[in-house]
Structure 1
């Protein structure tokens, strides 16, 4: 069923919602705006664009928050901050406040997903963080000793007890059916975390372990069809960088 509800007493028939609907689910029938029973992908464009607030969405939290334009953020400062971000591997033991965690998750929740699938899930390891790391440590240390495809690479690495999470107080595992959707959500979350004074490490080794260990996947209780896209290790940095690092030349084609 189409979740769109239209308050005819507020609707002025301006057709803004009809013109902006990506799936052509809205139409004028005489003097009334109607919503098709099928085809709506629940993107919320009609809700967002209506100048009179005449549209609501069933089973959604319609908080009527005003839109904020990205142009309100200074573009030079934003670019400078994005260029300044560093992967953090040294964290203070200070815990991350609950309100900051919720802002990080909210940033992920509002990241774009293909066809508005909203198919990204988030797992905070919390009380099972040490257990998850121990599973990974045993897997990697065992692989160092046996003739596994990883052994030659892992023999060059010092795998200490904080190898995967670096002693950080917060680990969020991002999973999805889509690597693109999960990656976009992770990027949104990182920008929010950085704005809150936090540092982030993407633990690619942990993601590798989720593909090798059924025990770890069971611990994560992944949704059906979901794979781990990223593991975000988050905390207050115990290191301060002084300048933006150099980068190789931009690779760009104009066709």
Structure 2
């Protein structure tokens, strides 16, 4: 049940909810009503666009939502956030507070997905002791696997030999960077736009983390370890068998502080006329 309700005292019958409904299932019959619940995308556009806050859906009332007027970041602040984002490769050992992690995840969960499928699967390891044990097992098994020559791809084998060597000889944790937390995202192979959905989710996660002064690092190495060398880790992490791995991301309190944005000049654009 969508639990679509209209406060008749507030509704001004402007029709904006019907106009903005992508599947076209809202019609005005004196007051707005949904004609086919099965076709609803669950996007909540009807509630978001209503100028008077007359529409509620899924039991969510407009007063439970954040008004956009006066609460959006201005363009310069957002530009600084995006340009000031850095890949963090040094972390403090202290874990983040659980409520901060939950807020970060809850906000990133609002990232757009194809046809609002919201099928991105988040695998989180937030206990630093678990991360430490997981890291130690990965390095032990990775070194053993490479000695047995399990990787059929020379580039991958050479890359991870370097990773293991850095840890063994220099105690440099190239794989996890001593971060106290990490997530891995996956999505069902049947999802309509799984690759884009997973990348968009992590991008939103990263930018929200930046705003919270939380460091992040895109971790393609861990993804490659699981996919190419230690595939049983996928099941052990609880990632469904029919899921495609997206990417991994480390996060935690950064041990480095950047002072200014990077500047990369104007975007390279090829303008096309038809």
Aligned partners of 2:69 and 2:248: how far apart in 1?
30
SS for the counterpart of 1:14 is coil
Aligned partners of 1:8 and 1:70: how far apart in 2?
25
1:161-176 correspondence runs (5 A)? 162-176=173-187
SS for the counterpart of 1:106 is helix
Q: Deviations over 1:156-178 (max 9, x none)?
A: 44342733222112212222231
Q: Match of 2:4?
A: 5
Q: Match of 2:147?
A: 145
Which 10-residue stretch deviates more, 52-61 or 210-219?
A: 52-61
Q: Which of 235, 241, 249 pairs up with 2:258?
A: 241
Aligned partners of 1:188 and 1:62: how far apart in 2?
24
CA contact (8 A) 2:124 2:182 kept: yes
Which 5+ residue runs of structure 2 have no aligned equivalent? 189-193
Q: What's the CA shift for 1:14? A: 1.8
SS for the counterpart of 2:39 is coil
Q: Match of 2:208?
A: 192
Alignment of 1:219 with 2:236, yes or no, is: yes
Q: 1:166 to 1:117 in 2, by over 3 A?
A: same
Q: What's the CA shift for 1:78? A: 2.4
CA contact (8 A) 2:235 2:241 kept: no
Q: 1:13 to 1:62 in 2, by over 3 A?
A: closer
Q: 1:96 to 1:18 in 2, by over 3 A?
A: same
| Root mean square deviation, CA, Å | 2.6
1:24-63 correspondence runs (5 A)? 24-29=24-29, 31-37=30-36, 38-58=38-58
Q: Match of 1:132?
A: 134
Which 10-residue stretch deviates more, 116-125 or 5-14?
A: 5-14
Q: Match of 2:219?
A: 203
Aligned length: 253
Aligned partners of 1:144 and 1:75: how far apart in 2?
49
CA contact (8 A) 2:7 2:55 kept: no
CA contact (8 A) 2:182 2:248 kept: yes
Q: Which of 230, 235, 242 pairs up with 2:247?
A: 230
1:51-130 correspondence runs (5 A)? 51-58=51-58, 64-68=64-68, 72-127=72-127, 128-130=130-132
SS for the counterpart of 2:185 is strand
Aligned partners of 2:135 and 2:207: how far apart in 1?
25
TM-score by length of 2: 0.80
CA contact (8 A) 1:176 1:227 kept: yes
CA contact (8 A) 1:141 1:159 kept: no
Aligned partners of 2:90 and 2:107: how far apart in 1?
24
Q: Deviations over 1:28-70 (max 9, x none)?
A: 23x2422122311111100111233332223668763133259
